[in-house]
Chains A and B, each alone.
Chain A
Amino acid sequence: MVENVKELLKLHESITHEVYLDNENSTIVPQEVLDAMLPYYNKKAYGNPTLTHKPGWEAFETIMGCFGKISKYMGAKNLEEITFTPSETEANNLAIMASCFAQKDKGKKIVISEIEPINVLQVTEMMSKFGFSTTKIPVNSEGFINLEKLKEAIDSQTVLVSIAAVNNEVGTIQPIKEAVDIVKTKNPNTLFHTDASDAYGRIPLNVQQLGVDMATVSSFKIQGPRGIGAFYLKEGVNLERILEGPIGTQKLWPGVENTPLIVGFTKASELAFTDFEANVAKLRGLRDKLVDGIFNELTDLRFNGPKGDKRSPDNANISILRCEGEALTIELSLKGVYVSSGSACSRRLLQPSHVLIAIGRIFEEAHGSILMKVTRSHTEDDISYVLDVLPSAVNRIRGIVGSTGVH
């Protein structure tokens, strides 16, 4: 298997230009973020922040500074409301498990949307082992949650609602504040969690103004290092810890704090939030150039998710009809353009993207979809290169499809 990968990589040797657009699944960490992190491995603050020596105190001071900055960027009231976790997955697991366990005597109902990230779908499903049931709120063809159905779903037994602020696949910006108001009016004791990983650094985000009790953000979704994320818990809300071990600076997550990653995440956040509006305008400009260019070059496309102000500025998701997505990701890779697809082709269960199906796309449209996210590190030249190679890649795959499946 590893030999195969070596051969696969050899096929890419002649690539002259590379454009990484799969920022949904990992990212390129800018050099200045790495430069900020590296000293914390061997030059300073390499101690455990809970211990009584200089490297420990240095680590403590550094981490506290990072708590402060991240709490400010998220709009939290104070830094105690922030917990660093290894990623979005862990923060979402923490939010759901810890809030359900803490309130199990009040009720056993969870409400989420149909288009939550897979980790939320899976952890809520797992909670059925503990007697919790989950209701999924439907979305419309642009991915917006049905607020009427949300209202109907909340009752005295509902302990938790979890709805992502921005959908990670189709970029829909949800009306979280309205959703929180609806939920709290119906049951003031219901806790509200939002996975804001795709909102952070892209749209104005303020957890206090939204009124949520819990929120998740992720480092690699804003060009930070992988392996670190942050969890917001509103002051006064009690959760039950889900992991045990020596507690350091954060009572919800045991273990030794990872200072370099926390510093990297904080630096990536700083870069995203300094000149925030200019950064967002850049993302939007690059994304629009990409989408407009693709629609100019090709026919039989579907744009997935909303257009305009209600869409995250970095997200482009397009279904290419008569073109199988997995084949297209490989064809594009051989040309140095890296994207992901909602195709099901690598699973025996044959499940294409649940988000695309939930917004009403038929299976063929989901299998032929590609997801691309631009970052502020991309250039106009990068987008031009993608537009140079994408049409011929699509046309080659469409040539293999030929008349198959055309009725």
Chain B
Amino acid sequence: MSRIPLPYNPKVMDLFRNPKNLGKMEDATVVAVAGNPACGDMITFYLKINEQTQVIEKAQFESYGCAANIATSSIVTEMIKGLTLEKAWIDITWKKVTDEIGGLPSVKFHCGVLAVGALKRAIRLYFDQKSIAYPSWLSKEHTFEEKQALEEEELAKTLSKRMKPEAEKQQ
């Protein structure tokens, strides 16, 4: 059990209590998942994209995660609404999101960065799924936030392998 104090700020608490843009989106243009429930953090990110203008018309999320994860996901969906994919890709960085949310306890970095990783992954997925060539602003190489999400997912795999195979399952 943790012994690390977690003094969440009022903005985080407000978004934890009243998350915006929560829930599954049935008519999403693209759906991206980041994290793994084995690590205790997983986000599903839904984007409704106007394919003519490449503007994000709607963004929603679902989160299996802690208060920091929920609050960060919520604020990202608010920050990107109405942005073009290009602007969302370039402007919405981990640093900008943490500033917007008023800071997170440092130990919560991996929970928060996942929301930005999910966004970047959704944007990349949009071009992949539509088989549209990457525009010049979209790097082939993974962004910092996508790498963080990948790292967490790899860690979950390693942890799952280390689990006891001999322990019997209980009902």
Chain A contact residues, CB within 8 Å of chain B: 1-2, 4-5, 7-8, 11, 24-25, 118, 138, 140-142, 302, 322, 324-327, 330, 334, 340-348, 350, 352-353, 357-360, 362-364, 367, 371, 399-405
B168 and A141 contact, CB distance less than 8 A: yes
The CA-CA distance from A401 to B73 in the complex, in Å, is 12
The CA-CA distance from A203 to B58 in the complex, in Å, is 58
A400 and B7 contact, CB distance less than 8 A: no
The CA-CA distance from A342 to B40 in the complex, in Å, is 11
* CB < 8 Å neighbour of B38 from A25, A327, A364, A401: A364
A4 and B63 contact, CB distance less than 8 A: no
* CB < 8 Å neighbour of A404 from B64, B67, B155, B156: B64
Residues of A within 8 A of B44 (CB): 402-404
* CB < 8 Å neighbour of A8 from B1, B8, B43, B62: B8
Give the B interface residue count (CB, 8 A): 51
A2 and B66 contact, CB distance less than 8 A: no
Residues of A within 8 A of B152 (CB): 350
* CB < 8 Å neighbour of A25 from B1, B69, B168: B1
Q: Are A367 and B1 CB-contacts (below 8 A) given A138-B164, A327-B66?
A: no
B40 and A357 contact, CB distance less than 8 A: no
What is the CB-to-nearest-CB distance from A355 to chain B, in angstroms, rounded to a whole number? 10
Q: What are 15 of the A-B contact pairs (CB < 8 Å)?
A: A1-B5, A141-B169, A326-B66, A346-B107, A347-B2, A348-B109, A350-B39, A350-B110, A353-B1, A360-B170, A363-B40, A364-B37, A399-B22, A402-B22, A404-B63
What is the CB-to-nearest-CB distance from A148 to chain B, in angstroms, rounded to a whole number? 13
A350 and B159 contact, CB distance less than 8 A: yes
The CA-CA distance from A181 to B74 in the complex, in Å, is 58
A141 and B40 contact, CB distance less than 8 A: no
A4 and B9 contact, CB distance less than 8 A: yes
* CB < 8 Å neighbour of B67 from A302, A326, A340: A326
* CB < 8 Å neighbour of A405 from B1, B37, B166, B168: B37
Residues of A within 8 A of B8 (CB): 4, 8, 330
- CB-nearest residue of chain A to B63: A400
- CB-nearest residue of chain A to B2: A346
Interface flag for B6 (CB, 8 Å): yes
What is the CB-to-nearest-CB distance from B54 to chain A, in angstroms, rounded to a whole number? 26
Chain B contact residues, CB within 8 Å of chain A: 1-2, 4-10, 13, 16-17, 19, 22-24, 33, 37-44, 62-67, 69-70, 105, 107-111, 152, 155-156, 159-160, 163-164, 166-170
What is the CB-to-nearest-CB distance from A279 to chain B, in angstroms, rounded to a whole number? 26
What is the CB-to-nearest-CB distance from B126 to chain A, in angstroms, rounded to a whole number? 20
The CA-CA distance from A1 to B10 in the complex, in Å, is 11
What is the CB-to-nearest-CB distance from A87 to chain B, in angstroms, rounded to a whole number? 14
The CA-CA distance from A358 to B7 in the complex, in Å, is 31
A404 and B160 contact, CB distance less than 8 A: no
The CA-CA distance from A342 to B156 in the complex, in Å, is 16
- CB-nearest residue of chain A to B162: A357
The CA-CA distance from A140 to B164 in the complex, in Å, is 11
Residues of B within 8 A of A358 (CB): 164, 167
- CB-nearest residue of chain B to A25: B1
Residues of A within 8 A of B39 (CB): 344, 350, 363
Residues of A within 8 A of B107 (CB): 346-348
B62 and A403 contact, CB distance less than 8 A: yes
* CB < 8 Å neighbour of B167 from A7, A25, A346, A360: A360
The CA-CA distance from A326 to B40 in the complex, in Å, is 9
The CA-CA distance from A340 to B6 in the complex, in Å, is 13
- CB-nearest residue of chain A to B33: A404
* CB < 8 Å neighbour of A360 from B23, B105, B111, B164: B164
The CA-CA distance from A371 to B2 in the complex, in Å, is 13
The CA-CA distance from A1 to B65 in the complex, in Å, is 22
B111 and A405 contact, CB distance less than 8 A: no
